[in-house]
Structure 1
Amino acid sequence: MPLAEALAALAALVRPVAAADASPANAVGAVAAQDVVVGAGRPAERRALRDGWAVAAAAIVGASPYAPVRLGRPPAWVEAGAALPAGTDALLPPDSLGADPREIEVEAAIGEGTRAPGTEMPPGTRLLASGKRVSALCGLALAAAGFDRVSVRRPRLRLLAAAPDTLSPLLAAWIAARGGVTEAAARPAEVGDLAAALLAPGTDAVIVIGGTGPGRSDASAAALARAGRLHAHGIALRPGESAGFGEAAGRPVLLLPGRPDAALAAWLALGRPLLAALAGAGPDATLTLPLTRKVASVIGLTEVVFLRRTIASAEPLGGAEIPLHRLGRADAALLVPPAHEGYPAGTPVEVLPL
């Protein structure tokens, strides 16, 4: 099945998971289920950006060591983050007062050293858009704006991998970085036992790692067909040709090959879009970088090429059957469309950060 057709069929099986409320700190990494907009502007009053003496700027215009301005009383000391006293609108530096604290020898502009009311968080500002991932900085802004709960989607995925399992930890880390939660379990060897594992409740999708090829003990596709429906087994993807997907117990099931390069390629091509659809996330961000050397591809297959990014370019490391010592250096990937034979060196291409 061509990758574009597979993605459309897989998307038809997916619905965004139910939203749940989380604190801004716990929402980091998850995908917003609705827009978050500032209501009343913050701060409500003018606040100090640093420690200093609170004054009314208009009262000390022209102040200098040769012509100090005498105030009726010494200015009030204000700590950073505190509200300024009524009638003041600027801060003098801590060392700006002389022997007589009522005599001011420096002037200040209105607002100097302060944050005006409503300017930290202007009313109507959209801090978070539905479908966007909550970053750590966004979590800081949400907390500062007074939001104690945020509506987010965080899909739960079950990873079933045969021993020895070296891929589940990597996939779990990638899924967690994109707002998902995983639980890992051993993949049963027998068709019936694996079919039962596919039907076990508690998650929004199931990822089976290994057992998708023509080997005598490869039972993943047969188990999915028994547990539910096998929509596709064999994708026009290189590496990752033996990947497949379907549904069981009303949930999408993705079958990944067991070889690392093929499993990771299939995850990038099919798994990441599946996770994004479950979370209601928007399209993945890409980077455009020139290739340091040419990439050759087979017509009719979507080719996944692993890359190492440099400051201003991307170095192809390999695709199908790439050895692990090279795959371990990858931090991006390129999906070459099936109609392309590849790209010459220096071609700007869209790369997908890992």
Structure 2
Amino acid sequence: MSALLDVQTARSRVLAAVRVLSPEDVPLADCLGRVLAADVRAAGDSPPFTNSAMDGFAVRSGPAGRTLRIVGESRAGAPADTAVAEGTAVRISTGAMLPAGADAVIMVERTVEPGDGTVRVDAPTAPSQNVRGAGEDMRAGTTVLTAGMPVDAAAIGIAAGAHAAALACARRPRVAILSTGDELVPPGAPLGPGQIHNSNALTLAALATTAGADVVARVHVTDTAEATRDAIAAVLQDVDVLVLSGGVSVGPHDHVKGALEASGVREDFWRVALRPGKPTWFGTRGDALVFGLPGNPVSAMVTFLLFVRPALRALQGADPAARRIAVALLEDVPRTEGRDELVRVTLADGGATLTGPQGSHVLTSMRGADGLARIPAGTGDLVRGTEVEVELL
């Protein structure tokens, strides 16, 4: 039986097998949540012209107390056709082009209009006051977004301002979720003796979708060697990642490892020095990644977050590393000899508190969790106040 791998070594071996997926052009409106495959450079200045930051009057800078003749108006999308000269002003709206001859904008609240076609300026105006210069946000040719970054709402706005209508994004990884077990029935179905609802299929699919994947199949397989072989062979034809839950241990009804071997999947490792998640399996067939996760719901979620999520991010060219922080425990936590334990914690009051009972079957321990705190292998308790590493969720 193979020796237990430490978590970091196992994660490194997963990432070593990743090949970044090919890019595709995606319309800007569909880019949210995708990962950039190429830098984005501004095709022109943004804003493309000098404009007003306020509703008011475009003027030449000068002292308070002036009375100026109003000679035109500049509205957003409709620039003034009259230049500003000494003694004149142009009414202007926020975002409208600054007319020739003007170098400042006096906000309307600091002016008085007597009704005779003039405006009195009641405050001094300095050069560039309330004026946005052309290129103040982006200069033509500068890099405004970099490859590998996730596309969020701000990135979409920046890309639009950079004149982009589409972005080169990594293709979404195609993922199949395969859950095994005679005891599993669909959510909402009545339970017979010894049966449980299949939470893993939906939970793992949700985690994959959140990580940017396209979940193309969710399959339930009964505990027979033939059914397991057939299901694995079918879904492996057109996926980048196959995630299985259950059936990876050594019981008489655990058929996953044999079925994977029959489909030409090469084992990289099996069994990690981790609680929960010891029987985690990983292998490859060509560029396809295959994960065999434990069937217990918490074990499946924790091992997905530790191994599958980084792989899905790396496949898209994103940084696979989760954010980690050091936090003090606010309670004593027992240690496990020979295996690191990842406990679900909330972060508040300057430290980490367990979410409740931590059994691998207690799915409610994931509810409200801010992160996974690593409790190093050992004997006895890790006492309150000890600083631990927390991988944020």
C-alpha separation in 2, matches of 1:193 and 1:13: 28
RMSD: 2.6
Cα offsets for 1:262-307 (capped at 9, x unmatched)? 1112112211222122122112223443322233333432321111
State whether residues 198 and 248 of structure 1, in contact with CA within 8 Å, keep that contact through their aligned partners in structure 2.
no
Tell me the equivalent position of 1:253.
290
Cα offsets for 1:46-78 (capped at 9, x unmatched)? 122333222232xxx1122xxx24347353333
Tell me the equivalent position of 1:170.
203
State the 1:122 CA deviation.
3.5
Tell me which of 366, 373, 378 is aligned to 1:334: 373
State the 1:261 CA deviation.
1.3
C-alpha separation in 1, matches of 2:140 and 2:99: 23
- Counting only pairs closer than 5 Å after superposition, residues 1-354 of structure 1 correspond to structure 2 as 1-2=4-5, 3-57=7-61, 61-64=62-65, 68-71=66-69, 73=71, 75-95=89-109, 96-99=111-114, 100-106=116-122, 107-123=124-140, 125-153=142-170, 154-162=172-180, 163-164=184-185, 165-189=198-222, 190-199=224-233, 200=235, 201-228=237-264, 229-248=266-285, 250-282=287-319, 283-310=321-348, 312-317=350-355, 319-321=358-360, 323-338=362-377, 343-354=382-393
Cα offsets for 1:2-42 (capped at 9, x unmatched)? 12332233223221111112233422222221222334331
Matched AA of 1:30: R
Matched AA of 1:206: L
State whether residues 240 and 265 of structure 1, in contact with CA within 8 Å, keep that contact through their aligned partners in structure 2.
yes
Unaligned runs of 5+ in 2: 72-87, 186-197
With normalisation by structure 1, the TM-score equals 0.87
The 1:76/1:177 distance shift into structure 2, 3 A limit, reads farther
C-alpha separation in 2, matches of 1:254 and 1:285: 23
C-alpha separation in 2, matches of 1:123 and 1:313: 47
Cα offsets for 1:239-276 (capped at 9, x unmatched)? 01111111235411001111111111211221122212
Cα offsets for 1:132-182 (capped at 9, x unmatched)? 222222222222222222122222211112443212333333322332221
C-alpha separation in 2, matches of 1:196 and 1:231: 22
State whether residues 243 and 290 of structure 2, in contact with CA within 8 Å, keep that contact through their aligned partners in structure 1.
yes
C-alpha separation in 2, matches of 1:170 and 1:231: 25
Matched AA of 1:158: A
Unaligned runs of 5+ in 1: none
C-alpha separation in 1, matches of 2:380 and 2:102: 69
The 1:198/1:297 distance shift into structure 2, 3 A limit, reads same
Secondary structure of the corresponding residue to residue 31 of structure 1: coil
The 1:72/1:53 distance shift into structure 2, 3 A limit, reads closer
C-alpha separation in 2, matches of 1:341 and 1:23: 56
Matched AA of 1:328: R
State whether residues 75 and 101 of structure 1, in contact with CA within 8 Å, keep that contact through their aligned partners in structure 2.
no
Which region of structure 1 is more displaced relative to structure 2, 263-272 or 90-99?
Answer: 90-99
C-alpha separation in 1, matches of 2:345 and 2:361: 11
C-alpha separation in 1, matches of 2:41 and 2:49: 20
C-alpha separation in 2, matches of 1:288 and 1:272: 21
Paired residues in the alignment total 348
With normalisation by structure 2, the TM-score equals 0.79
Q: Identity across aligned pairs (percent)? A: 27
State whether residues 53 and 91 of structure 1, in contact with CA within 8 Å, keep that contact through their aligned partners in structure 2.
yes
State whether residues 209 and 255 of structure 1, in contact with CA within 8 Å, keep that contact through their aligned partners in structure 2.
yes
State whether residues 274 and 341 of structure 2, in contact with CA within 8 Å, keep that contact through their aligned partners in structure 1.
yes
For the pair shown, the structure with the greater C-alpha radius of gyration is: 2
State whether residues 239 and 319 of structure 1, in contact with CA within 8 Å, keep that contact through their aligned partners in structure 2.
no
